[in-house]
Structure 1
Amino acid sequence: MRASLVVLGSRGDVQPFIALGTTLKARGHEVTLATHADFETLVREAELDFVELPGSPRDFLAHPALAEALQQGASLFRAARKVPRPTTEHIRGLAAEVAKATAGADLVVNSILSRISFESDGSAPWGSVSWWPLNPTAQWPAMIAPQAGLGRIYNRVTHRVGGLLDWITIRGFRKDAQLPALPFGAPYGELGRDVPLLCPVTRSLFTEPSDWPELSRVTGYWFWDREWTPPQDLVDFMDAGTPPVTLSFGSIWPVHPPTETLDKVLAVVRSHGRRLVLVGGGPATVPEDVFRIDDVHYPWLLPRSSVVIHHGGCNTTGEALRSGRPQVVVPTFADSPFWAARVHALGVAAKPIPFQKFTLDRLDEALGDALGDENIRRTAHDIGEYVRAEQGTEKAAEILEEWVQRWRTRKGMGVTA
């Protein structure tokens, strides 16, 4: 089977697709991964075929207008209005490259963001991936809504409003891409009903509610366990004393002033008698009790840390959960407030600190809880064991293989490997 995986976004979006691709390849399939040039090295490191899609996540995440918007609140829609929209030429070029990347495939798998640029021609089965529970349900509110316990009617209404906002956000993009409009008020309505919709997060956070459609599935996280050898100076730093705190704001680092952020975090970390590992951001020059590294394998680093401070991206949250270490989450926008609230409710993280309220006092309180609360440490350890046992990419591969077989049977095409 020739599988085309299409994903737009940050490394946190792309790396799980690499994990899925390596699993599909190990099961005997040919895999092409289409994404931004920023991630070509990682895709080729995994020995997957690479197709470049135009644009870069930095066009949005590193734009000065994003930081300005986030200072006013965590609204994804405000942020999208502040940052200049891609040109019509860029949008049409992206849709054309997605079409080329998926032509001739036996299976297409796209993320929610890249779904907007994709239109099936009916020649192959396809499915999508959402980093949060997307299908409407009475069991919980939509991801973008206040996670208030106001009952089933409230929950249903938030999903309707969320669907309408999604439609408003993407309708112009689809028009500029010269693609058919998606259904009014429910642009992702076919996902989980007509085609698979996979949610690659741990089932310790939630499982499929009874009112979800059959093809909407929670698989467990998709982890890529790459071949990686830590530099000796990092090994020496980790072994030099009490386990340090790790700070990683991932793709959202551009909205954090480098020196100011390090000074603030380091002051609190030092007050608790710890050192700091700084991943992927901050100033170029750091003090002796800070180790700065740009590319690190989280399964090596995070379990050796005392606490993980992060931004609440879906897959960074997954790596922190897998590590079994307590967390402090500083959510910014999009799905990060949702995940920050979830891991706090799960009992593995201190109370979240929203980006707009990221102060010394709040960080001091949260880090103190993460370091000193035995219940948080014990729960984080237990959840880590659960997450490590899930094998989400294998589950996802099985679901997709079964879907291809069902699709081919329905089309009267027979089944091929």
Structure 2
Amino acid sequence: MSRFIERMSITDHDIPSSRASSETYVDSPPAYEVVVGQLAEEAVEVRDDGRITVDLNSRLARTLSKFMPKCPNYSKGEDRTGERPAEQPKPASWAVKLNIVVQVVGSRGDVQPFIALGNELQKHGHRVRLATHNTFRNFVESHGLEFYPIGGDPEELMAYMVKNPGLIPSMKSLRQGDIQQKRAMVSQMLTGCWESCIEPDPISGVPFVADAIIANPPSFGHVHCAQALGIPVHLMFTMPWTNTRAFPHPLANLKNGGSDNKLGNYTSYSVVEWLTWQGLGDVINKWRETMDLEPVSAMDGPNLAAQLKVPFTYCWSPALVPKPKDWAPHVDVCGFFFREAPNYTSPPDLAAFLAAGPPPVYIGFGSIVIDHPVKMSNLIIEVVQKCGARAIISRGWSKLDGPPMDNIFYLGDCPHEWLFQHVAAVVHHGGAGTTACGLLNGKPTTIVPFFGDQPFWGNMVAARGAGPKPIPHKTLNVENLAAAISFCLTPEANSAAKEIAYQMQLESGVKTAVNSFHANLPIEKLSCDIISDQPASWTYKRKGKSLKLSKLAVEILSEGRTHGFDAKKLALYEPKPILIETNWHEPISASTAAFVGWNIDVVEAAAGIVTKPYKEYKVGRTSVSTKSVASGSSTPSLRSTHSSSSTEVESLSTVSERTPSHSTASDRLSRKSTDIGRDGPPGFACTASRMAGASGKALADVNVKGFKGLLVDIPLATAEGLRNVPALYGDTVRDHGTVTDWKSGALVGGKAFMYGMGEGLTDIFTEPYRGGKKEGALGVVKGVGKGSVTLLTKTSYAMLGLVAYPGQGIAKSIRTAVKSRTRKVIALVRHEEGQYLLKGPIGSRIDRAQVLAQFDLLTR
């Protein structure tokens, strides 16, 4: 898997929010300490095998342990097997037909399992779009799935990974600009992920608006796209990504763990997540701005999926790695994803080689790009000769090759599902998909890991006796590879591999994963109240009643306005709203962090008075040169991102690679509202005007952030810290509700004052009484202490909350009113898809009179 994300966790932090030309990323190499600081420097050491040594006794590990997801306590009986609660049964069938976008970043081996998943989802009537790198278009479409290009070059990513196997890139890569280029690629792919949720098919122009998202974690756009649309999101992965005591993060090597290795294992996931966020948090937050979303704090960003309890399905066999007992019910292990075996007829030369002798050993590294293919080829040839074996050597992206030999066949593209039935053993890089295919066919396996989770899978195979210990590619030589192949050809290894294969053949990973996906959906909130098999996209309120309406139902009702339908009463519907709030655990660190964050925000906003006009100047110059080039070619016209705040221009080569011929939803919205926006004709006057506007906006931003920090953010953080003080000594924290607008802010502020004052003034009497009943005299003493603490903290919380929560609500209402462009875009694309459905086969099958009658009945 292309784990390039983790390898960029210590980088520069001046990345724009949209896809941009390569000129944007030619800054000097970043200073590590600027981003990560002393905590990471003292806690992290990078090994040559691509893993990081995490010092569990460091300040970083101790600090992060305070903010980790709750670790279940085995001694208290929290030994959960992950069985789903009775109130969430797995549905026998699925009635609502969803538009599902599957977002995948990685190599072909990462994409292939999701093709199998997509085909299984189609059997349930869902419309599936697979959004991934452009190079996989034919691969995806040949399996009957819709495709959307998100950009990014997987071969380039794999080459980068081999050169930089650790979290910290080499100085050579810094000098060559690799880090800046990869961060630019991440920024491009994030924008592509959002577009994959709302843009029409790039070729046919058929509208598509996502009703649910499935993604692998390195795509990174998943939760944020789901938040913007208010739809369910489900993560699926072939690598452990959830905190567990059972084993450490595959990228972590623990040090100074003491006697409690289980706690060290659990902590390692948060450390790796934190390091990853350090390098990409700024890229993600700038991209979030283009969707009118607020930035995610450095405290919440690393463990966002865990904090939101996003459903997670792991795509490996429980026969190889059982589900850890401390994983929650919304985390599943379902089995490997296998697509249906393709119809494949071997070429005559391959068929002749297989028939000419005993089964050969397969040797290949798939999507790995190595620096010295000739040297690696010569080593493999020498090993094959030494073992006296026959071998099939896959050229792959490693470009392995050599002279013709009777006992060696050099292979081009060939499906592993077919090939691995005809070999004696397999030697490969340890990608999860390749590992699964080899084991499913009962083949002993030698893994030569290059980076990422590959050592993890090598160790899992070795633990089951189906292969030797993994051999890191940097230590590979004739002796150890020959010994590994010899071990794989023993009866013992063959028997162990056959046993794993038997257990795997009893599983149905893809079907189990689809059941997991369905079981975690908010079933009762998804369906349209009138056309039950269509997902709800709008809410309609009339006379105190609220209806959930699909895109198709709204278009039918719009045609029949004589039945009392009023389009002005429509609002966007969110079946699964996502609220990201910072969890402040105690008042001192909360107020300090809020104060520091306020200072940073104000300084950055003040710097924008100079930097933003300069960026507009650069954009103006680039636009002139770019448009002059484009005017003489057939290249599609440049398009802006969907946000009007974008200031970056894409290079022609990138645009021509992934830009559909149609305009974006943002462009169509601008034309619909006769808003020219910022894409006027180039020229000095236009550029000067935009520069002046940018400077004015930056000055206004200084005032807004300054006042908001003082009047809302700092008081709110302190109030939340005070509210959570009871949790520090084991008491329950009162849930005061969620603030979404000025009304809920006023309500929560009133509750905070009422309960805070009431409990703060009475706890000094009630806590000693409760303590005495529970623990006698000692309990009375403890109760006096608790009551004294709450007298101060709860009354302070009440006073601050009376100001902070209404202020938070007012700020959110203002932001909702000002930052409305994304909601308008979503409304537009839902309307466009509704029109398409109305005129298509689905619309022709619907009894429109019945729809109108049902609407009248429900709103009567």
TM-score between both structures, scaled by the size of structure 2: 0.45
Identify the residue that residue 331 of structure 1 maps to in structure 2: 449
CA shift in 2, pair 1:267/1:101, >3 Å: same
Deviations 1:49-71 (A, max 9, x none): 111111111222224xx54444x
Structure 1 SS opposite 2:305: coil
Match of 1:58 among 155, 158, 173: 155
Partners of 2:120 and 2:111 in 1: CA distance = 15
Match of 2:365 among 249, 252, 258: 249
Structure 2 SS opposite 1:255: coil
Partners of 1:361 and 1:208 in 2: CA distance = 36
Partners of 1:32 and 1:275 in 2: CA distance = 42
Partners of 2:418 and 2:450 in 1: CA distance = 26
Identify the residue that residue 712 of structure 2 maps to in structure 1: none
Cα offset, 1:345, TM superposition: 0.9
Cα offset, 1:40, TM superposition: 0.9
How many equivalent pairs are there? 407
Partners of 1:87 and 1:375 in 2: CA distance = 44
Identify the residue that residue 389 of structure 2 maps to in structure 1: 274
Deviations 1:327-362 (A, max 9, x none): 111111111111111111121111211111001111
Bigger shift: 31-40 or 225-234? 225-234
Partners of 1:115 and 1:69 in 2: CA distance = 20
Residues 1:112 and 2:222 aligned together: no
Cα offset, 1:381, TM superposition: 0.8
- 1:291-302 mapped onto 2 (5 Å cutoff): 291-302=409-420
- 1:172-321 mapped onto 2 (5 Å cutoff): 172-178=282-288, 180-181=295-296, 184=299, 187-191=302-306, 194-225=309-340, 226-252=342-368, 254-255=369-370, 257-279=372-394, 280=396, 281-288=398-405, 289-321=407-439
CA shift in 2, pair 1:229/1:183, >3 Å: farther
CA shift in 2, pair 1:231/1:165, >3 Å: same
CA contact (8 A) 1:67 1:255 kept: yes
AA at the equivalent of 1:101: S
Partners of 1:192 and 1:344 in 2: CA distance = 34
CA shift in 2, pair 1:212/1:183, >3 Å: farther
AA at the equivalent of 2:197: T
Match of 2:281 among 171, 174, 179: 171
Higher share in helix: 2
CA shift in 2, pair 1:87/1:321, >3 Å: closer
Cα offset, 1:174, TM superposition: 1.0
Identify the residue that residue 502 of structure 2 maps to in structure 1: 385
Cα offset, 1:222, TM superposition: 0.6
CA shift in 2, pair 1:228/1:359, >3 Å: same
CA contact (8 A) 2:313 2:513 kept: yes
Partners of 2:387 and 2:111 in 1: CA distance = 35
AA at the equivalent of 1:95: L
Match of 2:272 among 145, 151, 162: 162
Cα offset, 1:367, TM superposition: 1.3
Partners of 1:147 and 1:308 in 2: CA distance = 30
Identify the residue that residue 780 of structure 2 maps to in structure 1: none
Partners of 2:310 and 2:437 in 1: CA distance = 28
CA contact (8 A) 1:330 1:355 kept: yes
AA at the equivalent of 1:264: L
Partners of 1:264 and 1:89 in 2: CA distance = 36
Cα offset, 1:100, TM superposition: 1.8
- 1:1-40 mapped onto 2 (5 Å cutoff): 1-40=98-137
Structure 2 SS opposite 1:251: coil
Fraction of identical pairs, as percent: 27
Please identify the structure whose Cα radius of gyration is greater.
2
Partners of 1:399 and 1:189 in 2: CA distance = 21
Partners of 2:446 and 2:426 in 1: CA distance = 6
Structure 1 SS opposite 2:280: helix
AA at the equivalent of 1:98: C
AA at the equivalent of 2:334: T
CA shift in 2, pair 1:250/1:326, >3 Å: same
Cα offset, 1:185, TM superposition: 6.7
Partners of 2:239 and 2:357 in 1: CA distance = 38
CA contact (8 A) 1:23 1:397 kept: yes
Could you say what the CA RMSD is over the residues aligned between the two structures, in angstroms?
2.5
CA shift in 2, pair 1:89/1:316, >3 Å: closer
Cα offset, 1:278, TM superposition: 1.6
AA at the equivalent of 2:180: R
Bigger shift: 189-198 or 156-165? 189-198
CA contact (8 A) 2:321 2:460 kept: no
Match of 1:395 among 500, 507, 512: 512
